[in-house]
Amino acid sequence: PALTFLGSAYLELAGRVGGRGPYYEKAGDALERAFALDPDLPWARSKLSSYLAKLGQAERSARLAAEGVGRQPGVVEFHERLGYVFRYAGHMRASIEAYRRGQALDRTSGARVRAQDQITKSFIYLGAYDDALDSHRAMLAILSEAGRTPDEKQHFYEGVIHLYAGDPERALASFDRGRTVDAESVWSTFGRGYSALATGDAVGARAVLEGLEAREVVDGERRYRLVHLSLAAGLVDRALDHLEQSVESGFFNAPYIASDPFTVRLRDRPRFAAILDRAAERHDAFPLDR
- pLDDT for res 204: 98
- pLDDT for res 16: 78
- pLDDT for res 290: 47
pLDDT, block means (10 residues), the chain with 290 residues: 96 79 91 97 96 91 95 96 96 97 95 96 98 98 96 98 98 97 93 98 98 86 96 98 95 98 96 98 83
- pLDDT for res 216: 77
Spatial distance between the Cα atoms of 149 and 153, rounded to a whole number of angstroms? 12
Q: Is the pTM of this model over 0.85?
A: yes
Q: CB–CB of 8/47 below 8 Å?
A: yes
Characterize 74-105 residue by residue with b for buried, 16 or more Cβ atoms within 10 angstroms of its Cβ, and e for exposed: ebbbbbbbbbbbbbbbbbbebbbbbbebbbeb
- pLDDT for res 20: 59
Spatial distance between the Cα atoms of 49 and 59, rounded to a whole number of angstroms? 10
